[in-house]
Amino acid sequence: EESIIPSQLRGKLPVMSNLSEPSKEAASADDSSAVQKTGAWSNTLNILLQQASVYGVAAGYCLSASLLSIINKWAVMKFPYPGALTALQYFTSVVGVLLCGQLKLIEHDGLNLRTMWKFLPAAVMFYISIFTNSELLLHANVDTFIVFRSAVPIFVAIGETLYLHQPWPSLKTWLSLSTILGGSVIYVFTDNQFTVTAYTWAVAYLASMSIDFVYIKHVVMTIGLNTWGLVLYNNLEALMLFPLEMLLMGELNQMKGDSAKVTNWLSSDVILPVALSCLFGLSISFFGFSCRRAISATGFTVLGIVNKLLTVVINLLIWDKHASFVGTIGLLICMSGGVLYQQSTTKPKAPKAEPKEENDEEQQKLLEMQQGLESSSTQKQASS
């Protein structure tokens, strides 16, 4: 009887192990399906967060740029020195980034002479675009400015394709860009003023802005600086170019002649708009570089056009010098073109190899398990 019991147990043990194997396999299958579901939800959540981040920085840029145009107009009316006001904005951005970096509120790249030298062409192009922008607004009206500003995305799209190796925009993209330009042309038809000086600066502005958007997109993607590092380098180097503008534009002599108004500059009527313009200058620097990372150069340019619309609307509501009904229709067409704009798709990506890698990993694990089972069975046979 004692010899029978061990033999019965030995006969039943394999049966019990066989019965337990399906339950283990079912449990492992449930675990793998749960892991797959968790991974799918995680990927979906990451995609949604990424999309929300893109729309968030775009909205932040639009809001900052639109309000900055209004606040700058208010500030220039109280402090009529555009160059000095721009320099104060650059200075505030530099000090703000350095101070927040010291307080560990943000992280920015450290200053490096070699990196500054690499970034210098981008800073120079940025400054030239701002300079031609100011000259265009000085010699032409807002309508002419909007037309040439609206034409920039077309040249940026061509430059993006030729020099940044992006695909040509889709037909829908070209139609939306043409709609923006067409609406702007209709808008400007309400103004018959024309001067050679104004349109010379307009062409210079169009060329500098197109080069600036394409080149800065290249710098942002290749120089290896984070967003706050880009803000720091761009504003610091632009600030260093400010004395040159003071000499070229004669603003320094103008400020010396108005030195008797220093007491008025310290009043709240002047300090408030100037301070707000400096804060929004820092805001637009951050959101601007974030947008340059998140969207194409052409898309960023179209955002710049949409930003001008709020300023034009306020011009229609506040001042009498604005477009007629036909011009307003052109403005609405320009807005619809911005809404219809579709960012150019990037180059087709190679098929993902992740599923294949996962299958290879699973097969490797199965082979290892099989080898382990075979080795254990061999050991059992050897021991028996």
Say if CB 250 and CB 44 are below 8 A apart.
no
Q: For residue 221, give Cα distances in angstroms to 19, 117, 159, 291, 331.
A: 59, 17, 15, 12, 34
> What gap in Å lies between CA 355 and CA 333, rounded to an integer?
46
Q: What is the pLDDT of residue 357?
A: 47
| CA 291, 296, 301, 302 torsion-angle sign | negative
Q: Where are the beta strands (DSSP E) in the chain?
A: none
Q: What is the pLDDT of residue 300?
A: 66
Q: What is the pLDDT of residue 383?
A: 47
Say if CB 135 and CB 201 are below 8 A apart.
yes
Say if CB 164 and CB 297 are below 8 A apart.
yes
Three-state secondary structure call for residue 195: coil
At 374, the amino acid letter reads E
Q: What is the pLDDT of residue 374?
A: 54
> What gap in Å lies between CA 55 and CA 249, rounded to an integer?
39
| Per-domain residue ranges of the chain | 78-252+268-340
Say if CB 274 and CB 76 are below 8 A apart.
no
> What gap in Å lies between CA 180 and CA 267, rounded to an integer?
42
Q: What is the pLDDT of residue 348?
A: 47
209-220 as b/e, with b when 16 or more CB fall inside 10 Å? bbbbbbbbbebb
Three-state secondary structure call for residue 273: helix
Q: What is the pLDDT of residue 345?
A: 40
To 5 degrees, how large is the angle CA 327–CA 332–CA 337?
Answer: 125
Q: For residue 373, give Cα distances in angstroms to 23, 252, 367, 370, 376.
A: 18, 86, 10, 5, 5
10-residue averages of pLDDT along the chain (384 residues): 48 49 56 65 75 73 75 78 82 88 83 87 83 75 74 83 80 83 78 74 89 82 80 87 79 72 74 88 76 68 68 66 69 72 48 48 57 52 46
> What gap in Å lies between CA 140 and CA 209, rounded to an integer?
17
Q: What is the pLDDT of residue 261?
A: 65
Chain centroid offset of residue 349 CA? 21
251-260 as b/e, with b when 16 or more CB fall inside 10 Å? beeebeeeee
The answer to pTM > 0.75 is: no
Q: What is the pLDDT of residue 219?
A: 80
Tokens of 102: 């010291």
State the number of CA atoms in the 13 A half-sphere of 302 facing the CB. Answer: 27
Q: What is the number of H-type helices and E-type strands within the chain?
A: 14, 0
Q: What is the pLDDT of residue 35?
A: 60
